[in-house]
């Protein structure tokens, strides 16, 4: 779901608007409550920044990213690149991860058509555990377990306290002392902050934000898409790129 679809109605009674949309989308009451809380926080954040909560609509924003050194899934020679800027505590990121990502992986990443990169956009003013989770993922990468722990945390945004993350690390048979030391030292905090700055530069107003386009020798040249959209939306965009449109 793209929360900007609903954010433009933030001044209206959200409790009246969202249940109807929730029924149409087939989500649970708890998920609807999570979305309502998220929208309220987004509205407050935007008001503090002095700008209105505007939908992305039909706007097309292009971005070029250098991706050297970032975690990648798929074939390095894939002609199409997809980048996700994620917040592990974001319910919309969870929705993408649990309902759409597997289809993209099966149909595009595993078939060599798309290479997928993960980058960080923790909204720490709303999600106090997001930066910790982002650091944990990067520390797990030091032990070759980035995608495994990303999969676990992405599906459980409510279990990002340090104790839960340490259980995840143990279940993946990592060296937990080294892992904890890495997270506690905030080794990757500045790198995560650099991701946030780059995300802001390309117009990432929320999470998840994607850049999808043609692969380049250094990264990607593509379009910016904001929101946890359904698989059909990604499928259409990726098919257009395959056809050279």
Residue 242 has pLDDT above 80, yes or no: yes
Higher pLDDT, 143 or 55: 143
The pLDDT of residue 86: 96
The predicted-structure confidence for 120-177, as pLDDT tens digits, reads as follows: 999 988 899 999 999 999 999 999 999 999 999 999 999 999 999 999 999 999 999 9
Residue 57 has pLDDT above 90, yes or no: no
SS3 100: coil
The pLDDT of residue 47: 45
- Spell out the CATH class of 61-242: alpha beta
**pLDDT grade for 42, boundaries at 50, 70 and 90:** low
* Residue 150 burial (C-beta neighbours within 10 Å; 0-12, 13-18, 19+): buried
Domain extents in the chain? 4-48, 61-242
Residue 196 has pLDDT above 70, yes or no: yes
Residue 50 has pLDDT above 70, yes or no: no
Q: Does the reported pTM lie above 0.85?
A: no
The pLDDT of residue 32: 55
Question: Of 168, 138, 167, 163, nearest to 152 (Cα)?
Answer: 168
The pLDDT of residue 153: 97
Taking the C-alpha atoms of residue 225 and residue 229, their distance in angstroms, rounded to an integer, is 9
Percent of the chain residues topping a pLDDT of 90: 70
Taking the C-alpha atoms of residue 148 and residue 140, their distance in angstroms, rounded to an integer, is 9
Other C-beta atoms lying within 10 Å of the C-beta of residue 134: 30
Average pLDDT over residues 65-83: 96
Higher pLDDT, 217 or 35: 217
């Amino acid at each position: 779901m793209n929360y900007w679809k609903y954010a433009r109605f933030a001044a209206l009674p959200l409790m009246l608007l969202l249940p109807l949309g929730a029924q149409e989308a087939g989500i649970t009451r708890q998920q609807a409550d999570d979305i309502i809380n998220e929208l309220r926080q987004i509205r407050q954040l935007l008001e503090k920044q002095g700008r209105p909560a505007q939908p992305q609509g039909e706007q097309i924003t292009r971005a070029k990213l250098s991706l050297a050194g970032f975690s990648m899934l798929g074939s390095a020679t894939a002609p199409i690149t997809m980048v996700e800027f994620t917040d592990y505590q974001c319910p919309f990121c969870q929705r993408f991860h649990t309902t759409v990502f597997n289809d993209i992986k099966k149909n595009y990443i595993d078939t060599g058509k798309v290479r997928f990169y993960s980058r960080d956009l923790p909204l720490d003013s709303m999600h106090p555990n997001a930066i910790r989770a982002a650091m944990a993922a990067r520390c797990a990468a030091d032990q070759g377990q980035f995608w495994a722990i990303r999969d676990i945390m992405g599906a459980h945004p409510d279990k990002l306290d340090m104790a839960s993350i340490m259980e995840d690390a143990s279940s993946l048979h990592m060296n937990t002392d080294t892992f904890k030391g890495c997270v506690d030292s905030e080794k990757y905090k500045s790198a995560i902050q650099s991701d946030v700055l780059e995300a802001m530069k390309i117009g990432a107003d929320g999470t998840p934000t994607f850049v999808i386009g043609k692969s380049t020798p250094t990264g990607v040249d593509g379009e910016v898409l904001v929101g946890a959209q359904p698989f059909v939306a990604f499928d259409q965009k990726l098919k257009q790129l395959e056809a050279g449109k």
